Structure 1
Amino acid sequence: MKPYSVDYIAGALLACTILIISSPALAGPPFLTDDPEPVEYQHHELYISSQQLKTRNDTTGTLPHIEYNYGALPDLQLHIIVPYAFNHPVNGQREGGLGDIELGAKYRFMQETDNRPMVGIFPLVEIHTGDANKGLGNGATQVFLPIWLQKRWGEWQSYGGGGYWINNAQIAKNHWLFGWQLQKDISDHLTLGGEIYFSTEQAPGAGSSSGFNLGGFYNLDEHNHLLFSAGRGLTNIDTTNQLSSYIGYQITW
């Protein structure tokens, strides 16, 4: 197999990070930053979405990925993502197939009040079901251990936090990921927002990375929602994130 450069590996690892973190519709997707709010007890969320990340070396993404969230208990959400991943190297063959499957459980242990934010944890496990040799997966199981906070002030809402990624893939490093988001309800149907995020070094010699996204969601009705965002890196742009985007359709019941 052809050896990959540190730049290629760093970009691929950031792509995996960007393309696998997700959560409920009113917070989380379409942004990288997550939130502590679980799906309501005995309620469901189903997403059909696509994400894309372009770097100097390749374009990677999902087309689509299916996400399902279920409120198993009053403060507990169960979570799964099954992606159809693609990888299109600049000087290589386009590949497609099953990506890494994500499993998680979100637990809210502090409710929001007038004087304090909502707080919760959302540990995730990325199972290496994608073919890493084709650029469709990480090549080893990953675990993310984050804590998230959220607070609302009328039409404004903000959430953020971060956590530690444990990555056992070859030529990969465990790393920290942090993000913060702010959004505003423009109307009963439309909410717009933006985020910034930062990751410590994910591969030896690759350096840290950061970026931003702008986007929002549009409520067609009580049960049907459209989600969208786009952004790019702020550091090491060519090798980490020249352009990233998300578009999705969500059903809630």
Structure 2
Amino acid sequence: MTSYGKSLEITLFLFFLLVAPRVLAQAGPPFQTDDPTPVDPGHYEFYVFGTIDGTPAELDPVGPAFEFNWGAVPNIQVHVIFPFGAVLPSNNPAYRPGGTGPSAFGVTDTELGVKYGFIKQTKHRPQIGSFTMFELPTGSYTKGLGVGRAWYKLPIWAEKEFGPWSLVGGAGYAVVPQKQYRNYFYGGYLVKRTVSERLELSAEVFSHAREGFAAAQTEASTLLDAGGYYHFKTPGLQLLFAYGHSIAGQTENYGYLGLYKTWGKDKDADQKAPADANFAGHWQTSGLP
């Protein structure tokens, strides 16, 4: 991670810890920054989406991909993503040994996760929680569609809101026990604004360290992403969209487009905004974002 990214993360972290009043938070898809708020017990979320993440070494589109989240018990959310994707190396000698090999498409690594909200938000403190992810080696390692071994993401996220504004942020560490990959830090901070009954807009700063020569992200990068959520008239149905570009470190592009549906036991469940994410979940090592 660049010194620019580290200083920016520290500044934003101190800022959102000082803000006060509480409202409902949201992060995760379509952004790379996640949040610590689990889905309510007995409620469900479903996404169908596609992402794009690329550097000069390699382009890694994902899609179609399917995400499901379940509020299993109070303060606990169970999460799964089953993705298809592609790996498109540039085969440019300038980026060797990374970015080499044939292109491929198929199933990529499956993501399982558990989100645990262990500190609830109050007037004077943010909500804090973990979102541990387990990446299962369902993608072909020989084709570059998967890491070939189980790997993990271990983040801590926090959120604080005031009026129509939301601040969400945190950091994590990925453990990738495979040759040509490496363990790496990542983190991000997101600001959201409710514009109208149907539209919410957000922007985030997201940083990651270099992820290894087998990934597209062969060097550290800091990105600025913008996008939002459009609420359809159908209860609980939303269009999610985001696009971003690096502002420091390795050149990198990020994009997300998806449909989201939520439902649950109570009559207000379909009105709730998406509470989680990943990729991370929606970006990942593996040769894929």
Amino acid at match of 2:262: T
Letter in 2 for 1:26: Q
Deviates more, 1:132-141 or 1:184-193: 132-141
| Other-structure match for 2:239 | 226
| Of 198, 222, 227, the match for 2:207 | 198
Q: Aligned equivalents of 2:117 and 2:26: distance in 1?
A: 15
CA distance, structure 1, for counterparts of residue 148 and residue 51 of structure 2: 20
User: Alpha-carbon deviations, 1:76-132, whole Å to 9, x = none?
Assistant: 100000001112233564311110000000011111111111111110011111112
Report what 2:181 is aligned to.
Answer: 172
With structure 2 as the length reference, what TM-score do the two structures score?
A: 0.74
Structure number with the higher strand fraction is 1
Mean Cα deviation higher: 183-192 or 214-223: 214-223
Shift of the 200–55 alpha-carbon distance from structure 1 to 2, 3 Å rule, reads closer
1:107 lines up with 2:116 in the alignment: yes
Out of 162, 165, 173, which is 1:156 matched to?
A: 165
Q: Residue 142 of structure 2: SS of its match in structure 1?
A: helix
**Is the counterpart of residue 63 in structure 1 residue 63 in structure 2?**
yes
Aligned: 1:251 with 2:261: yes
The residue type paired with residue 106 of structure 1 is K
How many residue pairs end up in the alignment?
Answer: 226
Alpha carbons of structure 1 residues 227 and 161: separation in structure 2 relative to 1, 3 Å: same
- TM-superposed CA distance for 1:40, in Å, is 1.0
CA 1:217–1:99: 2 relative to 1, 3 Å:
same
Q: Compute the RMSD of aligned alpha carbons.
A: 1.8
Deviations 1:26-81 (A, max 9, x none): 32100001000111110000000000113223321211110000000121100000
Q: Which amino acid aligns with 1:230?
A: Y
Which secondary structure state, in structure 1, belongs to the residue aligned with residue 248 of structure 2? coil
Q: Distance in 1 between matches of 2:133 and 2:148?
A: 16
Which residue identity lines up with residue 59 of structure 1 in the other structure? Answer: L
The one-character-per-residue Cα deviations of 1:197-251 (angstroms, maximum 9, x if unpaired) are 12223238x543221210111111431011000001223434xx1x211000001
Query: In the alignment, does 2:222 pair up with 1:210?
Result: yes
Q: Distance in 1 between matches of 2:52 and 2:90?
A: 15
Report the residue type matching 2:186 in the other structure: L
Q: How many percent of aligned residue pairs carry the same amino acid? A: 35
Are the aligned partners of 2:188 and 2:205 in contact in 1 as well (CA < 8 Å)?
A: yes
Q: Does the CA contact (< 8 Å) of 2:195 and 2:201 recur in 1?
A: yes
Which structure 2 residues correspond to residues 66-77 of structure 1 after superposition, within 5 A?
66-77=66-77
Structure 1 residue 138: Cα displacement: 2.1
How far, CA to CA, are the matches of 1:176 and 1:142 in structure 2? Answer: 14
C-alpha separation in 1, matches of 2:160 and 2:242: 21
CA distance in 2, matches of 1:146, 1:54: 23
**How far 1:134 sits from its partner (Å)?**
1.8
Aligned residue number for residue 190 of structure 2? 181
Distance in 2 of aligned mates of 1:162 and 1:190: 27
Distance 2:80 2:169 in 1: 21
Cα distance, 1:59–1:203 mapped onto 2, change above 3 Å: closer
Of residues 127, 147, 161, the one that matches 2:136 is 127
With the length of structure 1 as denominator, give the TM-score of the two structures.
Answer: 0.84
